[in-house]
């Protein structure tokens, strides 16, 4: 693609002016008035016509300004941003994920979909079993950082403190230094050495733990902005299925990746982008942080926010 330095300057001006939350066609006269732009409107028109021939811009109406094509967006992302280096191996806490999603959504009026950390991959360092109420025990599965996954299970009929202590000791043997998912497998394999009074309910407890620890989860913030901005009538499938499809397409890719919403079966909407960044816990992949926004959203500013995350959560 034969793009001169002046062409690039004008092209980036078009992209910045178009991606301002409005998405209006950009006129040559508006570009010529930009700070640092030392060219006249006629020169800008000639360059924009050349960029249109290259397939980077198009004019939606006669005598209208230009807007970027999909090829223009792809060229912009590939040539002007080092996306693979932004937020590489981000390791946030869950509270930071949620706060970051709410902050971005409110500031830029975009939709954020975030896969929550997978509990099943966490290492367990200690298990405690407490009497919760007259009907249940509270099982605390505590990781190295002192965070716990708290699960209530129904007490056995012959509940005593001694039995609870025995069960806690057995759970520590099963789970200590294991991931939660491996601990669930070991509960089944080591069932015969559990306290005899617990055998009748062990299968039920294992099933309850598996259901609560092994399921995928996500949060969606600012969905209304997406519906309002695109004037959508039908319901969108944003959540775990969406995250799974994004991950299928972006497996092993670090840093920010860009997808077009019409490429995904779970969305299949026009004029929208997905900015997606994976995150990790102790070097192990967890899930993805995704922003779904119209193509005219303030993309440069949003990428700038992602660039800042390297200063926290690592």
pLDDT at residue 313 tops 60: no
pLDDT at residue 214 tops 60: no
- Average pLDDT for residues 96-115, to the nearest whole number? 93
Query: What digits encode the pLDDT tens for the residues 162-182?
Result: 999 999 999 999 988 888 778
Two structure tokens written together for 33: 């008035």
pLDDT band at 14 (very low <50, low <70, confident <90, very high): very high
pLDDT at residue 314 tops 50: no
273 close to 260: Cβ distance less than 8 angstroms:
yes
| Type and span of the H or E element at 76 | helix 70-80
Identify each DSSP E strand in the chain by its residue range: 57-58, 67-68, 111-115, 123-124, 126-131, 136-142, 148-154, 178-179, 218-221, 257-260, 272-281, 284-294
pLDDT of residue 119: 60
Average pLDDT, the chain: 87
pLDDT at residue 101 tops 90: yes
Q: How many C-beta atoms surround the C-beta of residue 104 within 10 A?
A: 23
Q: How many C-beta atoms surround the C-beta of residue 298 within 10 A?
A: 19
Find the helix packing angle between 180-189 and 199-213, rounded to 10°. Answer: 160
pLDDT at residue 111 tops 90: yes
User: Residue 179's closest CA among 289, 286, 314?
Assistant: 286
- Average pLDDT for residues 132-145, to the nearest whole number? 87
207 close to 157: Cβ distance less than 8 angstroms:
no
pLDDT of residue 229: 75
- Average pLDDT for residues 70-99, to the nearest whole number? 90
Beta-carbon contacts of residue 8 (< 8 Å; ≥ 6 apart): 79
Two structure tokens written together for 31: 């570009």
pLDDT at residue 311 tops 60: no
Angstrom CA distances, 155 to 54, 138, 162, 173, 269, stand at: 71, 9, 13, 20, 50
């Amino acid at each position: 693609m034969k793009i001169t330095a002046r062409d690039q300057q004008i092209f980036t001006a078009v992209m910045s002016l178009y991606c301002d939350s409005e998405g209006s066609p950009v006129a040559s006269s508006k570009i010529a008035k930009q700070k640092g732009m030392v060219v006249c409107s006629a020169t800008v028109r000639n360059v924009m016509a050349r960029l249109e021939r290259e397939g980077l811009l198009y004019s939606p109406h006669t005598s209208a300004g230009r807007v970027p094509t999909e090829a223009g967006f792809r060229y912009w992302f590939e040539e002007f941003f080092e996306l693979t280096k932004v937020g590489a191996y981000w390791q946030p806490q869950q509270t930071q994920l949620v706060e970051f999603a709410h902050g971005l959504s409110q500031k830029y009026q975009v939709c954020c979909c975030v896969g929550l950390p997978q509990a099943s991959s966490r290492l367990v360092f200690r298990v405690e079993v407490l009497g919760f109420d007259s009907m249940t025990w509270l099982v605390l599965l505590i990781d190295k950082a002192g965070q716990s996954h708290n699960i209530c299970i129904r007490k056995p009929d012959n509940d005593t403190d001694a039995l609870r202590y025995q069960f806690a000791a057995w759970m520590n043997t099963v789970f200590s230094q294991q991931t939660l998912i491996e601990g669930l497998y070991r509960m089944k394999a080591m069932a015969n050495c559990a306290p005899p009074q617990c055998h009748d309910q062990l299968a039920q407890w294992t099933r309850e733990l598996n259901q609560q620890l092994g399921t995928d989860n996500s949060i969606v913030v600012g969905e209304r902005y997406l519906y309002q901005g695109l004037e959508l009538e039908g319901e969108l499938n944003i959540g775990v299925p969406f995250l799974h499809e994004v991950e299928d397409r972006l497996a092993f890719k670090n840093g920010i990746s860009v997808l077009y919403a019409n490429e995904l079966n779970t969305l299949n909407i026009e004029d929208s982008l997905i900015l997606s960044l994976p995150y990790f816990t102790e070097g192990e992949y967890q899930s993805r942080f995704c922003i779904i926004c119209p193509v005219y959203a303030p993309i440069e500013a949003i990428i700038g926010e992602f660039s800042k995350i390297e200063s926290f959560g690592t």
